[in-house]
Amino acid sequence: MDIPVYKESEAPLRAYVLSRKTKETDITASLNLDGGEVKVSTGIGFFDHMLTALAFYAGWGLELEARGDLEVDGHHTVEDTGIVLGQALSYALGDRKGIRRFGSAYIPMDEALCFTALDFSNRPYLVYEADMPQAVIGAYDACLTREFLRAFAVNSGLTLHMKCLYGQNAHHITEALFKSLGAAVKEAVAVTGTGVTSTKGVL
């Protein structure tokens, strides 16, 4: 995958390209908050599907390539992707002037219903309530959704509350969580003014 690299003078206003390499993972992400092509490759098919859904419902352009130690398991790849994507999002938001800041969404998928409420407050916090009836979805461990969300929230400065109200299928629950996250992010990063949405004057 060819990840675009912008010269400073060419870079879209709300976009960022970020790479992170450790002994466990090598990840590059190109994120544009205002749209574009979506290409994701992590080596974990279901996770690719979830990240693609997240980007689509958030209205992002996203090109992300991750190589990780999948011979161990998917944990490092999923968590480190959350780190990279969260940091890229934070950089793309800049000083956060003009954004709506808050967002929320209910998303149903078949028998499952999930809810997300969030605040780009620069005070990261995760509240996550979503029991998974099945432990594995394809080659993806269902427990890794929490790890991704924690890393994403911490590194993007996001107060994030997510809840599955009910559901019987881990695939449906997880997909509804990612879609609700995308829909809520799209609402929250929409530019609705010129100043910072805070009585403190800064986020």
Summarised one tens digit per residue, pLDDT across range 121-169 is 999 999 999 999 999 999 999 999 999 999 999 999 999 999 999 999 9
CB 3 within 8 A of CB 30: yes
CB 164 within 8 A of CB 129: yes
Residue 12: what pLDDT?
Answer: 55
In a domain, 69, yes or no: yes
pTM score, two decimals?
A: 0.93
What is the C-alpha to C-alpha distance for residues 139 and 45, in angstroms, rounded to an integer?
A: 7
The torsion angles phi and psi of 197, rounded to 5 degrees, stand at: -80, 75
Number of structural domains the chain divides into = 1
In a domain, 7, yes or no: no
What is the C-alpha to C-alpha distance for residues 81 and 156, in angstroms, rounded to an integer?
A: 12
Residue 150 sits in a domain whose CATH number is 3.30.230.40
pLDDT < 50 positions in the chain: 7-9, 11
Q: What angle do CA 127, 79, 75 make, to 5 degrees?
A: 115
